[in-house]
Amino acid sequence: MQKKTKKKEIPSAYIFCASLEKVASHTSAACRVLQLLLRIRAVQVSTIGAIKRAAWFAQTNAFNMFLLHVLGNAEVFSASNVIERANRNLGRMIGGPRIMFGDVAVEGGFQSGVPCTSRDCLWPKSKNGKVYVPVVVSKKFSSRETEAIRCALDSFHSKTCVRFMKRSSERDYIDITPKEGCWSYIGRTTGRQELSLQRGACLHRPTIQHELLHALGFHHEHSRSDRDNHVHVLYRNIMPGAEGQFQKVRTNNQVSPYDYSSVMHYGRADFSRNGEPTIIPVHDGSIPIGRATQMSLSDVLRVNRLYCQ
| Minimum separation from the CB atom of position 210 to Zn ion (A) | 5
| Minimum separation from the CB atom of position 102 to Zn ion (A) | 6
Nearer to Zn ion, 38 or 100 (CB): 100
Q: Does 299 bind Zn ion (CB under 5 A)?
A: no
Say if residue 222 carries a ligand binding annotation: no
At 168, is the secondary structure helix, strand, or coil? coil
Nearer to Zn ion, 153 or 215 (CB): 215
Nearer to Zn ion, 103 or 145 (CB): 103
Say if residue 219 carries a ligand binding annotation: no
Binding mask 97-126 for Zn ion (x = CB under 5 A): ------x-----------------------
CB pairs under 8 A, 24+ apart, for 57-66? 58/20, 58/23, 58/24, 58/26, 59/23, 59/24, 59/85, 59/88, 61/85, 61/86, 61/198, 61/200, 61/201, 62/200, 63/24, 63/26, 64/200, 64/201, 65/200
Residue in the shown chain whose Cβ atom is closest to Zn ion? 103
CA distance 22 to 45: 18
Positions of E strands within the chain: 98-100, 104-106, 131-137, 162-166, 173-177, 182-185, 192-197, 231-233, 279-281
How many residues bind Zn ion (CB under 5 A)? The answer is: 1
Say if residue 204 carries a ligand binding annotation: no
CA quadruple 79, 80, 86, 91: dihedral sign: positive
Stretch that binds Zn ion, among 3-11, 96-104, 191-199, 274-282 (CB under 5 A): 96-104
Q: Does 259 bind Zn ion (CB under 5 A)?
A: no
At 67, is the secondary structure helix, strand, or coil? helix
211 counts as catalytic: yes
> Pick the catalytic residue: 211, 221, 243, 276?
211
Stretch that binds Zn ion, among 19-27, 84-92, 95-103, 287-295 (CB under 5 A): 95-103
Nearer to Zn ion, 54 or 230 (CB): 230
Question: CB count, 10 Å around CB of 258?
Answer: 18
Phi, psi of 197 (to 5 degrees): -130, 100
Nearer to Zn ion, 45 or 182 (CB): 182
Annotated binding site for Zn(2+): 210, 214, 220
Active site members: 211
Q: Return residues touching Zn ion (CB under 5 A).
A: 103
Q: Which residues are annotated as a binding site?
A: 210, 214, 220
